[in-house]
Structure 1
Amino acid sequence: MSTTTGTTDYLPDAHWFKASASSGTGGCLEVAFLPDGSVALRDNEALEKPPFVVSEHVWTCFLDGAKGGEFNLPA
């Protein structure tokens, strides 16, 4: 993962990351791991919008489903 910074006022102390596979042309989902264990997500093309914050449990469930192919785009 690579670290990014944004111009948003939301969660100004958060350290945002995006996948190293992301290209430099935008369109990346960024995540920040917050001190309380929750995870914030944002679209780096819409930094003016507030991030979506989920609990550690929800994030873990999502990752497990993604690793298992549950969220693959339909063919």
Structure 2
Amino acid sequence: MDQLYSGMPAALLGGIGWRKSDFSNPSGNCVELAELPGGEIAVRNSRDPEGPALIYTRLELSAFVQGVKNGQFDDLAAQID
């Protein structure tokens, strides 16, 4: 990995451990995250594991997670029972 950039093919990241939520559905419609060696967080679509990975700093991901916890994106998500 010479240079990380958002949108790079996830396959180029190699050897990292991708994780997904326990709430992901069984048909594979989920988002996966992985910690990169430099501390950044990669995000990919599980249906396209070789496709693009978005790369975020921990501060960027933290801001997003806090927004999720505060309900700022509830209108964008389907209700899961």
Settle same-fold status: TM greater than 0.5.
yes
Aligned to 2:29: 27
- Structure 1 residue ranges (4+ consecutive) displaced by more than 2 angstroms after TM superposition: none
**1:63 partner SS:** helix
Aligned to 2:51: 49
Q: TM-score, normalising length from structure 2?
A: 0.74
The CA distance in 1 between the partners of 2:30 and 2:12, in whole Å, is 17
Gaps of 5+ in 1: 1-7
The CA distance in 1 between the partners of 2:31 and 2:12, in whole Å, is 15
Aligned to 2:19: 17
* Structure with bigger RCO (C-alpha 8 Å, 6+ apart): 2
User: Which amino acid is 1:16 matched to?
Assistant: W
Which one of the candidate residues 48, 57, 60 is aligned to 1:58?
A: 60
Aligned to 1:37: 39
The CA distance in 2 between the partners of 1:22 and 1:32, in whole Å, is 16
User: Which amino acid is 1:61 matched to?
Assistant: A
Aligned-pair RMSD on alpha carbons? 1.4
Q: TM-score, normalising length from structure 1?
A: 0.80
